[in-house]
């Protein structure tokens, strides 16, 4: 049986929520509709005409991209321009396009953490704080037989994610008592007769930003017409999120050796290196920010990083970095393509968990516009 696009995106957003995107970042659905069944999903870094041709050839129903295909308003939708023609082709072939941009950078266990794993950077924390979410707790009561259904429904929203753990919950069994009146339509019991049922209280913790989704999932999964539940604000430390990461190599490493490691890890033919006059010969504390992170170099300085890795460094910004004594490695923007492999693996895990009948395919088009000669 085919998978509903909405169901897939709900699962995707439980890992990569839209509320974590930077303000003004056009994440989410860009083209088409999620009110349809999907058989084939393709993951890509960029949505370019060649990628669209690949999607048409492979009969793709939904493209998930790192970079939003419509980042700025489109003035005209004409077929004689390659950029806008690809939009027409996508609509013509009923291919929906969904983008996860800065939220993919910010999530814990996301793009910047994958970079750290590839380079052996450990004990990492964010470079620049972007979001903070206070925690709340849902306590909901239901017949014990419905407990598993409720826990699974809440987990799909992202509730129960705490640090490196997901699907966390607590259950307590007791006796629920109620008397339906004559207007009630009880799932269990009879009008005007007192009833008692073995019930389970399920507790889950969630960031306050998810409250609407959590309550919606609770109502849909609950067998009663009048669910009993509590929403409790917590005084725990709020969850904080940010762009980039700062961490440590296992041991001090010569700068030239580390540059070669970056090239090998990302399979680069070349990169740009910015070095101050007084170069640190060995490095250990590394800051990294995927994409165009030049404006955050002052944060790398504040964190006392030995090296800052980011893409798209401009000429004058490079001068400023050099003058401030910071060594910077610019491996380019395209290193973000590692998200394709990582998300395909994650989607395959979801497919197994949810027993989906869908095929996930990586885009094989190289969208890097730069070559080294």
Residue 1 has a pLDDT of 56
Give the pLDDT score at 96. 98
Taken in order of first residue, the domains within the chain and their CATH numbers are 3-103+337-362 (3.40.1390.30), 108-130+241-331 (3.40.1390.30), 135-237 (3.30.70.120)
pLDDT mean values, one per 10 residues, the chain (373 residues): 89 93 97 97 98 98 98 90 95 98 96 98 97 95 94 92 86 93 88 91 94 95 94 92 98 98 97 94 97 97 98 98 97 98 97 95 97 88
Going from the C-alpha of 337 to that of each of 52, 105, 109, the distances in angstroms are 17, 12, 16
What is residue 240's predicted lDDT score, i.e. its pLDDT? 92
Res 129: pLDDT: 97
Quote the pLDDT of residue 162: 81
pTM above 0.75, yes or no: yes
Q: In the chain, what's the furthest Cα-to-Cα distance?
A: 86
């Amino acid at each position: 049986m085919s998978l509903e696009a909405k169901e897939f995106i709900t699962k995707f957003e439980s890992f990569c929520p839209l509320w974590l995107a930077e303000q003004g970042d056009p994440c989410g659905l860009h083209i088409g509709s999620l009110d349809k069944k999907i058989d084939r999903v393709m993951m890509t870094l960029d949505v370019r005409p060649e990628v669209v041709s690949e999607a048409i050839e492979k009969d793709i129903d939904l493209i998930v991209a790192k970079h939003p295909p419509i980042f700025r308003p489109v003035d005209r939708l004409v077929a004689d321009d390659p950029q806008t023609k690809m939009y027409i082709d996508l609509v013509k072939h009923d291919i929906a396009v969904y983008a996860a941009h800065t939220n993919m950078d910010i999530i814990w266990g996301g793009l910047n953490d994958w970079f750290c794993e590839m380079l052996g950077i450990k004990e990492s924390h964010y470079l620049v704080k972007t979001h903070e979410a206070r925690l709340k707790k849902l306590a909901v009561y239901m017949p014990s037989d419905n407990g598993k259904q409720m826990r699974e429904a809440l987990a799909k929203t992202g509730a129960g994610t705490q640090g490196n753990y997901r699907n966390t919950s607590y259950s307590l069994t007791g006796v629920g008592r109620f008397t339906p009146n004559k207007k009630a339509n009880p799932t269990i019991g009879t009008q005007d007769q007192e009833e008692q049922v073995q019930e389970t209280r399920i507790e889950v913790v969630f960031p306050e930003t998810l409250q609407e989704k959590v309550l919606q999932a609770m109502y849909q999964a609950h067998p009663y017409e009048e669910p009993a539940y509590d929403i409790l604000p917590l005084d725990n430390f709020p969850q904080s999120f940010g762009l980039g990461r700062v961490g440590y190599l296992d041991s001090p490493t010569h700068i030239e050796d580390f540059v070669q490691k970056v090239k090998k890890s990302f399979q680069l033919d070349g990169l740009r290196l910015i070095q101050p006059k007084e170069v640190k010969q060995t490095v250990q504390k590394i800051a990294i920010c995927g994409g165009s992170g030049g404006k955050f170099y002052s944060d790398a300085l504040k964190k006392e990083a030995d090296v800052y890795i980011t893409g798209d460094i401009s000429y004058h910004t490079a001068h400023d970095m050099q003058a401030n004594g910071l060594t910077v490695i610019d491996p380019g923007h395209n290193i973000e393509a590692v998200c394709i492999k990582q998300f395909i693996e994650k989607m395959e895990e979801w497919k197994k968990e949810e027993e989906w009948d869908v095929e996930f395919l990586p885009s094989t088009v190289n969208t890097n516009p730069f070559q080294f000669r």
